[in-house]
Structure 1
Amino acid sequence: MRLKSAAFASAAILVSAIPAASQTVPVIHQYGALALSPAGDRIATIEAQAGRGVVTLRSAADGKVIGTLDPCASCGYSGLTFAPNGDLVFLARDYKAGTVALDYVGEAGADAKGKVRTLATVRGIAQTPRVSPDGRRVALLVTLGAAKESGATQAGVRMIGEIGEHNDEQRLAVFDVAASNVADVQPVSPQGRYVYEYDWTPDGRGFVATTALGNGDNNWWVATLDAIDAQSGAVRQIAKPATQLNQPRVSPDGRTIAYIGGLMSDFGSIGGDVFTVPFAGGTPRNVTAGAKETVTTIDWTRGGLRTVSLVGDRVRLGMLEPGRAVAPGFAQAASASAGDGRAVFSADGRIAAAVMQDYEHAPAIYAGPVAALRQLTHDNDSVQPSVAARSVSWKNEGFDVQGWLLGPRTAPSAKAPMITMVHGGPSAASTPGFVMPTTMVGQLVNAGYYIFLPNPRGSYGQGEAFTAANKRDFGGGDLRDILAGIDAVEKVAPIDDGRLGLGGCSYGGFMAMWANTQTNRFKGIVAGAGLSDWVSYYGTNGIDQWMLPFFGKTMYEDMKAYQDVSAVYFAKKAKTPTFIYVGERDIEVPPTQSIEWWHALKDMNVPVSLVIYPDAGHCVPAPEQSRDVTQRAIAWYDKYVKAAR
């Protein structure tokens, strides 16, 4: 239940942001869908050239551009992955035609002039190509005739006709690299089963995958770990973990599977411990139990398991060794991304690559030995930061809690207002990413506000026990952590306690609505795609399965647990002026939740404004609509927070 990147078969390249009035906006060079060759000598990314994203190959030794590929001028590219022999595979999505081409580049070597061949054309959407260990086949996740984009955060289909009788199915398809003609798309995995993630087995005979029967948006929380035969499509269940699972990876000898397991509130919001289970089946074993960190990426290389973890305020690449926790590796107070994970590794596990950034430094590619990554690209070195950032830690009720404080580069001469922004999830975390001056955060800081981004209990970064600490306690301990964090921030920065605001989207939107009934400390609130009534939400949202790990029972079995954390039942206590926004086709948090809260606040004579954005999905991601949200939110904060007192 958080805002996250779409699982599109395309990669958006930001050439420049829309400038604010009388403000020079830097042009940020972006690196999308980063992939590393098996030998660790080449990097592939999607980068801007002449105003559009093209496939770019770079040397992993010095970052220099080797060459570019752009076979379809009307397409967006994604899914970059290397074959075992170093050939390159990627997806080219033609939005006008409604197709995705699976492209293969042989001999994409030193001059990057290998010929691009199309192996298949998918009428629908596709993602996650992976080449078989012998290099002869390419597997792909396909959704034929897709009615919507993949993922629950995407705008849903219109709710008309007989409901629930048709769902998009994401299935595995396999294509022959040596085929002379463009192949027909014939999925291998069976109908009725949604495949979320997969990995080839070393012998190339099949896959391990996370799958579920029925609606793909709703059933990831009950997905199982399965084996799928590459010829017949037969499915064999390997394990049904008690936790959510992500990134299944098979050991080089084919005997063991590793995956990330934990309490996760959204597909794609990956975090937890590392579990292993025999390929033949059995009970999963937690091999990082008790670690005070959250593993967000794993890869099983010939050199062993490689991991990326969030450790407090730092991201760390490490090596998982049998019988011990993750061995220390490269660590930095930044966020790392690459392809569909958060770092990529060479086949032997010695070399890693990632796109690194933090609040004050724009993206750059880092690569090198796992324990000693170094910066390769310098396209953004001259970009000046628009904010100053610091990590803030505090203790509350026995927990170690961390957050980020962003403010002006020059300290103000007087105390300043502050907006606390709560991340979605709740199983997620606010991690460093470069702040453009045109974003809501950038504009608020430029207007004289501080921004506080807390990671209260329920967040990633402090271990699985910390992530699970808000079970059956939404808006309880996590809200107290946030309020204690505000106290901690006020001790280290010139914050005016009489001018505090609150905001967030998704779970952050719930917290913004709920906090209005629990404290009068905030002067203005912005709530995006929030939940005001967990009882009605259970029966109207499109992802009811996500709540069961947190509440323990369905709403019909334990209604009081859902009522106890619903703002509408405490509406008489709400006093803080609130701006509410939501997407018309949000299936994660339907707009009825916002309408309920808007109606309650109006009845309580609390200043309130509600905007429902047409055809929008979760947290209103479309650029033009997002800019409107930003303008309205800043005006709201200026009126009720900045002007307080």
Structure 2
Amino acid sequence: MATLLSSGLNAFAQSGVPAPVEPLKTHDPVVVKAMEASEGHVKMPGGVAISPDGKWLAYTVGRASATLHLMELANPDPAKDKIVGPNGDTSCSNADPVWSPDGQWLAYTSSCTGSSDKPGQEQVFLWSKATGASKQLTHLSGLFHQVAWAPDGKTLAFLFVENATRSAGATAAMKPWSGVIGEDGIEVQRVAAVDVATGELKQVTPEKLHVFEFDWAQNSSEMTYIAAPPPGENNWWVADLYTQTLGQDPKAIVDTTKVTGALHGLQMAVPRFSPDGKKIAFIGGLMSDQGSTGGDIWVVEAKGGEPVDVKPGIDGTPAYLAWVDNGKVGFVEDRRGKVRIPDYDVKTKTEVPGSALEMSEVSITGGSIKDAISVSKNGVFAFVKSGLTAPPEVWAGPETAIKQVTHLNDGATLAGGKTESIEWTNEGFHVQGWLTYPANYDPAKKYPMIVSVHGGPSASIGPRWNVMANYSLAGYFVFQPNPRGSFGQGEKFTEANRKDFGYGDLRDILAGMDVVEKKVSVDPKREGLTGWSYGGFMTMFGVTQTTRFRAAVAGAGISDWLSYYGENSIDQWMTPFFGATVYDDTAVYAKSSALTFIKKVKTPTLIIVGDRDGECPAPQSFEFWHALRAEGVKTQLVIYPNEGHHFADPAHEKDRDERMLTWFQKEMPAE
């Protein structure tokens, strides 16, 4: 083990500019055709913001170079949208709209800043409803997001990393290792506030705290936020809930290591002040990634005290919340692939009768926080909705009359086969997943199937447009399960794989495969396994536990939890799942490590990773590749330069996807 680890680390300790990935030497015609046919050309709406009076809708189209639209909801004609940009400039990116409390100003971010700022540096602009003109408010150097108006409309605040060299998130490419590790070059994300009248900028929160999310109190002089000492990539899992009066020191009001009951030792997200400022609601639960939010709704007195779970025992997973009034909280809930938006009475801990908006087999979003929606003061909703048979569009209106208001993708057709929800039971658990059919499916024929396991593990796969269309077009079934450990089926289900990684969740997946095989024409001799992050671990571990899979592709996986503990940049996430550090209980880590069972592997496995991945570092992939090669198992390792856990280079993404499909086509071809 030590030799493997040493060789792996040495391989990634080299200095200099990494060489580019050489392209594939041969291109399988089936793969090329499927890749070309599956390339999405749909327009992607996002950044939805409804005005306080519910009359105007702001939304963006596109991602890398977003266009900001304004629509009058009384006459939702996209052809009449106003296009917003500094001096009418839409050549750059204009995004992240947020209305002022009085609805007279729209704040947005723009990279169209001219020569006065460094190229590409985004700034905050204000668009005036009265004049239709924009003015630049900030002159920042660094990265910022989650812009929010103070309720009095005099101040804008946002999360800000001054002079940032990289994104503050753990999924972005890490800095190359150099200097005094853990001390040099630490970048801290704080709440900064800018005076709307003067443009004066102040750092609001202390330098000793890295802030992940925040919210204003109605009095505009207090904030609540989730924060921890830096480095931010690692310490979200041990973050506390704070309140702070501006100009004074913060006060920690919830430390989950000290509370009793179900919240003990877990994570918190989406803090929100009640309208009267007396309470704070937040989502608390077992979460494996900051930003992948899920748990129960908890409420605590703003002055501190024991948090109360106001919705214990439901079998869904809230991901986003907002106060309806001082006694009710509304939230967006994932429930086995369905979306619910109910209101809960915080005193009686019951759902308000008739309050729930329910949508089947769709996904919604609308902002920088997962599953965020926008709601006006008079109850007009706005969000982006997409689903198994519908491409993404903006929907808006009162709760009882929400309708589609954009038509960006009229005429878009599914590239691959149909997708349907599959449900089954295993060992007392009710499990759900998604099955995508091969394009032009003929039940008289047998087809190969690829099982794709999501990351997390605290996450879920929801209903999506054009699900893995390249695999479907190439003639494969695709099965995407949400096994125990996933969101969408209550906290007990999410917590069911603690200290059991790779065992119960794998049995859930295999049981789901049995159900699929009985339902459709799957060739059991041509089944493959793949996944990224936790799905990459499940792939590496899965092929040590069964020979059922003919081929595997492990993306950004984890092969040895023991060495991983000391290699990654986010080790704080592991204790809630394993129950102890690796130094206190090596056995619980070893039992779920693929290298413990490496001699059982027979499955040809492709391994893919970014060289600057801090969540699942490249040495983990190197160790698995090294071991398979030593055991005579067919394998290949591909490392992409300057990539983190999430790839940023579109060329790398395309090359990765082609290599994955090519691997399956070679080992278990579709006929």
Give the number of the structure whose residues are more often helix, by fraction: 2
The answer for the alignment partner of 1:265 in structure 2 is: 288
- 1:545 counterpart (559, 568, 572): 572
Q: Point out the more displaced range, 35-44 or 605-614.
A: 35-44
- 1:164 counterpart (177, 182, 189): 182
1:372 positional shift: 4.5
Query: TM-score by structure 1 length?
Result: 0.92
C-alpha contact 1:62 1:376 (8 A) present in aligned 2: no
Query: TM-score by structure 2 length?
Result: 0.88
The answer for the alignment partner of 1:481 in structure 2 is: 508
The answer for the alignment partner of 2:4 in structure 1 is: none
Q: Point out the more displaced range, 539-548 or 365-374.
A: 365-374
Cα distance in 2 for partners of 1:98, 1:25 equals: 27
The answer for the alignment partner of 2:110 in structure 1 is: 92
Alignment of 1:432 onto 2:463: yes
| SS in structure 1 at match of 2:59 | strand
Aligned length: 614
Alignment of 1:308 onto 2:332: yes
Alignment of 1:235 onto 2:257: no
| SS in structure 1 at match of 2:576 | helix
Cα distance in 2 for partners of 1:245, 1:594 equals: 31
Cα distance in 2 for partners of 1:168, 1:78 equals: 24
Q: Which amino acid aligns with 1:201?
A: A
- 2:76 counterpart (57, 63, 84): 63
Cα distance in 2 for partners of 1:26, 1:599 equals: 36
C-alpha contact 2:275 2:323 (8 A) present in aligned 1: yes
C-alpha contact 2:67 2:90 (8 A) present in aligned 1: no
| SS in structure 1 at match of 2:598 | helix
The answer for the alignment partner of 1:417 in structure 2 is: 448
The answer for the alignment partner of 1:226 in structure 2 is: 242
Alignment of 1:406 onto 2:436: yes
1:43 positional shift: 1.6
Question: After the TM superposition, which residues 239-388 of structure 1 pair with which residues of structure 2 at under 5 Å, given as runs?
Answer: 239-241=254-256, 242=264, 243-302=266-325, 304-322=328-346, 323-326=348-351, 327-341=355-369, 342-348=371-377, 350-386=379-415, 387-388=417-418
Alignment of 1:32 onto 2:49: no
| SS in structure 2 at match of 1:433 | coil
Distance 1:26-1:215 versus aligned 2 partners, 3 A rule: closer
Q: Which amino acid aligns with 1:375?
A: Q
The answer for the alignment partner of 1:6 in structure 2 is: none
Q: Which amino acid aligns with 1:338?
A: G
Distance 1:345-1:631 versus aligned 2 partners, 3 A rule: closer
Alignment of 1:196 onto 2:225: no
| SS in structure 1 at match of 2:157 | strand
Cα distance in 2 for partners of 1:576, 1:346 equals: 50
Seq. identity, %: 39
C-alpha contact 2:329 2:344 (8 A) present in aligned 1: yes
| SS in structure 1 at match of 2:269 | strand
1:124 positional shift: 0.9
Q: Which amino acid aligns with 1:36?
A: I
1:383 positional shift: 0.4
1:142 positional shift: 0.8
1:490 positional shift: 1.3
1:349 positional shift: 6.2
| SS in structure 1 at match of 2:606 | strand
Cα distance in 2 for partners of 1:449, 1:24 equals: 13
Cα distance in 1 for partners of 2:73, 2:33 equals: 34
Cα distance in 1 for partners of 2:62, 2:542 equals: 42
| SS in structure 2 at match of 1:634 | helix
Q: Which amino acid aligns with 2:423?
A: S
Cα distance in 2 for partners of 1:62, 1:223 equals: 45
Aligned-residue RMSD, C-alpha: 2.1
Cα distance in 2 for partners of 1:337, 1:280 equals: 32
1:381 positional shift: 2.6
Q: Which amino acid aligns with 1:225?
A: L
Question: After the TM superposition, which residues 527-606 of structure 1 pair with which residues of structure 2 at under 5 Å, given as runs?
Answer: 527-606=554-633
| SS in structure 2 at match of 1:509 | helix
Q: Which amino acid aligns with 1:27?
A: H
1:236 positional shift: 0.7
| 1:288-330 C-alpha deviation (Å, 9 max, x unpaired) | 1001100011012448422110011201122222324444223
The answer for the alignment partner of 1:459 in structure 2 is: 486
| SS in structure 1 at match of 2:587 | helix
Q: Point out the more displaced range, 128-137 or 316-325.
A: 316-325
| SS in structure 1 at match of 2:602 | coil
The answer for the alignment partner of 1:639 in structure 2 is: 666
1:643 positional shift: 6.6
Alignment of 1:618 onto 2:645: yes
| SS in structure 2 at match of 1:429 | coil
1:64 positional shift: 2.5
Cα distance in 1 for partners of 2:373, 2:225 equals: 19
Which 5+ residue runs of structure 1 have no aligned equivalent?
A: 1-17
Distance 1:533-1:21 versus aligned 2 partners, 3 A rule: closer
| 1:570-619 C-alpha deviation (Å, 9 max, x unpaired) | 10011100000000000011100000000010011000000010010104
The answer for the alignment partner of 2:261 in structure 1 is: none
Distance 1:638-1:48 versus aligned 2 partners, 3 A rule: closer
Alignment of 1:145 onto 2:163: yes
The answer for the alignment partner of 1:132 in structure 2 is: 150
| SS in structure 1 at match of 2:668 | helix
| SS in structure 2 at match of 1:546 | helix
Distance 1:518-1:48 versus aligned 2 partners, 3 A rule: closer
C-alpha contact 2:53 2:378 (8 A) present in aligned 1: no
1:346 positional shift: 2.6
- 1:389 counterpart (416, 419, 439): 419
The answer for the alignment partner of 2:25 in structure 1 is: none
Q: Point out the more displaced range, 320-329 or 544-553.
A: 320-329
Cα distance in 1 for partners of 2:392, 2:433 equals: 21
Cα distance in 1 for partners of 2:267, 2:401 equals: 32
1:423 positional shift: 0.2
Q: Which amino acid aligns with 2:77?
A: K
Distance 1:26-1:523 versus aligned 2 partners, 3 A rule: closer
| 1:414-442 C-alpha deviation (Å, 9 max, x unpaired) | 01000000000000000112127xxxx21
Q: Which amino acid aligns with 1:53?
A: A
Cα distance in 2 for partners of 1:578, 1:98 equals: 40
Cα distance in 1 for partners of 2:439, 2:271 equals: 43
Distance 1:302-1:349 versus aligned 2 partners, 3 A rule: farther
Alignment of 1:174 onto 2:174: no
Q: Point out the more displaced range, 385-394 or 371-380.
A: 371-380
| SS in structure 1 at match of 2:320 | strand
Cα distance in 2 for partners of 1:626, 1:470 equals: 30
